[in-house]
Amino acid sequence: MKQEELVEKLRKKDKEALSYLYDHYADAIYGVIQRIVVQTDVAEEVLQDAFMRYWNKIDQFDSSKGRLFTWMLRIARNLALDKLRSKGMKQHSKSDSISDNVSILDSKLHTETVTDPIGLENALKDLNDDQRFVVEQLYFRGYTQSELAKEYNIPLGTVKTRLRAAMVRLRKLIVP
Amino acid sequence: MNINEWINSGVIESYVLGELNQEEMREVEEMAQRYPEVQKEIEQTEEALEGIAMKAGLQPRQEVKSKILQQIERELKTDKQGLDQEPSPEKNTSEIQPESFKSMKLWQYWSAAASALLVLATVLAIYYRQQWQVTESELENYLAENQNLTQEYQALRSDYDKLQEQQNILSSPNFTQVKLNGTDVSPSAYAVVYWNAESEEVYLHSTGLPTPESGKQYQLWAIVDGQPQSAGVFDLQNQLVDMQEIQNASAFAITLEPEGGSENPTLEAMYVLGEV
């Protein structure tokens, strides 16, 4: 199903369309949420929350401004971050490496990765330490850029440019 | 700042991740419309993020999907009912309600509930008031009865105490029983004196005496060293009467004297006499 068609059906309150959306994107969205809030039950709660929002707020999605997934990701990420703040939960310790993080998540939470996490790990290995650090913190730990800058005493501009450099690198690997 | 510097500042990543405020987002979108390279950067960043997310996907448990679909089902139903409710994803419990309830407005629930409650409260108030009044009159009866019983008990108690006392006197080896027999004045009259020589206590049993005329009182005398000594006046009683203490009595007698008694016995009116 093309994005336009999917969005159109969602706007018409087509349950099948939401089912399709879930089947295609739930794992990706859940992966993002899960790495931010960590606790399985909380993560599933946020996932449900996110999909209800996709269902109810699809009219607010403007396809001229970008991909559907980006819109979904922003919503899920913000819900997860809100949950993290409201529960007074802290991001887990900075000492974990991304490989530890992925394997810990996989073993501890009994979730099966649909796709190969090793692929991601390898992709991240391609970055230098500084770049990998900002990607991990921002993407997998639920930090915002300004929080990260504050916490680690890195100028916000530096955080942004490192992330930029890392993403350019990753794009080459991920987007053919 | 040239366009490449701006692109490399990391603002596009922030934009894609949703970390910009409304104004900053509008700014990026304007830049995207103006510069095709910015648009392209945004698209590539979005693709890359989506790719990373897909690669890093984790599988939630099966029930999450069914929970979401159930919730959607419920919302579709309530939408048909014409209820415009903000969805609350936190609430996963479904409440099954009869159709008629759903069409009622909230205030109708409340007023109906309040009316029912008022009626119930009124009925209960009347019922309990009646119960209370009945209880109160019953209580008054019981209190009165209790008072009577108490008085009766106290009377019996004092009677019992006296009888106990008399029993002790009658059965005590320290008391001497002195029978007083009727004289010529009243041959059938009799009395009994119980005298304890050691403690000098004197008790009198007087029921065998005829009832005296008004203005007169019986007086008990003891003969001590040949002289009459008053042991006090008394009224007829159906029990032992405690009289004045007497030492060394050789005999006892009872005369009828003017009320309050006399200093010396009126011998013509001696009714009973008995030697120790």
Mean pLDDT for A54-75 is: 91
Q: Report the DSSP beta bridge partners of residue B242.
A: B203
How much is the average pLDDT of B163-183? Answer: 89
Residue in A44, A112, A171 nearest the CB of B48: A171
A86 contacts on B by Cβ (under 8 Å): none
Q: According to the model, what pLDDT value does residue A173 have?
A: 75
- Coil, strand or helix: which one is A116? coil
Burial class (CB in 10 A: 0-12, 13-18, 19+), B243: buried
pLDDT band for A176, please (50, 70, 90 cuts).
low
Question: What does the pLDDT read at residue A92?
Answer: 47
Asked if B55's CB is within 8 angstroms of A120's CB, the reply is yes
Which of B43-47, B94-98, B176-180: highest mean pLDDT? B176-180
- For B117, B122, B256, the CA distances from B127, given in Å and listed in that order, are 15, 9, 70
Q: How far is A158 from chain B (nearest CA, A)?
A: 9
For residue A146, list chain B residues with Cβ-Cβ distance below 8 A: 19
If you average pLDDT over residues A38-66, what whole number do you get?
A: 91
d(CA A116, CA B121): 68
Which pLDDT belongs to residue B205?
92
Adjacent-strand bridge partners of B205 = B192
Question: Which residues in chain A have Cβ-Cβ distances shorter than 8 Å to B90?
Answer: 45, 49
When pLDDT is cut at 50, 70 and 90, the band that residue A72 belongs to is very high
Measured CA angle at A59 (ends A56, A64), to 5 deg: 140
In 3D space, the residue among B203, B175, B180, B169 whose CA is nearest the CA of residue B251 turns out to be B180
Asked if residues B175 and B195 have their Cβ atoms less than 8 Å apart, the reply is yes
Residues of A in contact with B58 (CB under 8 A): 27, 30-31, 34, 105-106, 109, 111-114
What's chain A's length in residues?
A: 176
Q: Do B13 and A167 touch (CB under 8 A)?
A: yes
Q: How far is B126 from chain A (nearest CA, A)?
A: 52
Most trustworthy range by pLDDT among A113-127, B76-90, B227-241: B227-241
pLDDT at B116 over 60: yes
The pLDDT assigned to A124 comes to 75
Distance of CA B109 to the CA centre of its chain: 38
Q: What is the CA radius of gyration of chain B?
A: 57
What residues contact B8, with CB distance under 8 A and at least 6 apart?
A161, A164
Task: Answer yes or no: is pLDDT of A86 > 90.
Answer: no
Its pTM stands at 0.51
**Which pLDDT does position A30 carry in this prediction?**
93
> How does pLDDT run across A133-151, given as a tens digit for each residue?
888 788 767 788 888 888 8
Angstroms from A2 CA to nearest CA on chain B: 15
> What does the block give as tokens for B100?
């008629």
Please name the residues between 153 and 212 in chain B that touch chain A, using a CB distance below 8 Å.
Answer: none
Is the pLDDT higher at B22 or at A126?
A: B22
Q: Longest C-alpha distance within chain B, in Å?
A: 158
Say yes or no: A61 contacts chain B, CB-CB below 8 A. no
Mean pLDDT, rounded, of chain A: 79
A100 pLDDT band, cuts 50/70/90, is very low
B215 touches chain A (CB under 8 A): no
% of chain A beyond a pLDDT of 70: 77
pLDDT, position A122: 65
AA letter at B60: P
- Mean pLDDT value across residues A53-79: 91
Pair A163, A135: CB distance under 8 Å = yes
The secondary structure of chain B, three-state, reads CCHHHHHHCCHHHHHHHCCCCHHHHHHHHHHHHHCHHHHHHHHHHHHHHHHHHHHCCCCCCHHHHHHHHHHHHHHHHHHHCCCCCCCCCCCCCCCCCCHHHHHCCHHHHHHHHHHHHHHHHHHHHHHHHHHHHHHHHHHHHHHHHHHHHHHHHHHHHHHHHHHHHHHHHHHCCCEEEEEEEECCCCCCCEEEEEEECCCCCEEEECCCCCCCCCCEEEEEEEEECCEEEEEEEECCCCCCEEECCCCCEEEEEEEEEECCCCCCCCHHHEEEEEEC
Check CB contact of A65 with chain B, cutoff 8 Å.
yes
The pLDDT of residue A58 is 94
Flag if A55 and B72 touch (Cβ within 8 Å).
yes
pLDDT for res A7 = 93
**Chain B nearest C-alpha distance from A140 (Å):** 10
Q: Best of A38, A51, A156 to disrupt the B interface by mutation (most B CBs within 10 Å)? A: A51
Average pLDDT, stretch A29-52? 91
Q: How far is CA A163 from CA A23, A103, A170, B13, in A?
A: 30, 23, 10, 7
DSSP3 helix / strand / coil % (chain A, rounded to 5): 75, 0, 25
**pLDDT score recorded for residue A61:** 92
pLDDT of A93 reads: 42
State the pLDDT at residue B129.
87
Q: B112 vs chain A: nearest CA distance in angstroms? A: 34
pLDDT bucket at B210, cuts 50 / 70 / 90:
very high
Distance from CA of B45 to the nearest CA of A (A): 7
pLDDT band at B258 (very low <50, low <70, confident <90, very high): very high
pLDDT of A114 reads 40
Residue B92 confidence class, pLDDT cut points 50, 70, 90: very low
Quickly state the pLDDT bin for A9 (edges 50, 70, 90).
Answer: very high
- Chain B residues 13-32 within an 8 A CB cutoff of chain A: 13-14, 16-19, 29
- Please give the interface size between A and B, counted as residue pairs whose CB atoms are below 8 Å apart: 173
Q: Which residues contact B249 (CB under 8 A, 6 or more apart)?
A: B195, B222, B223, B224, B229, B276
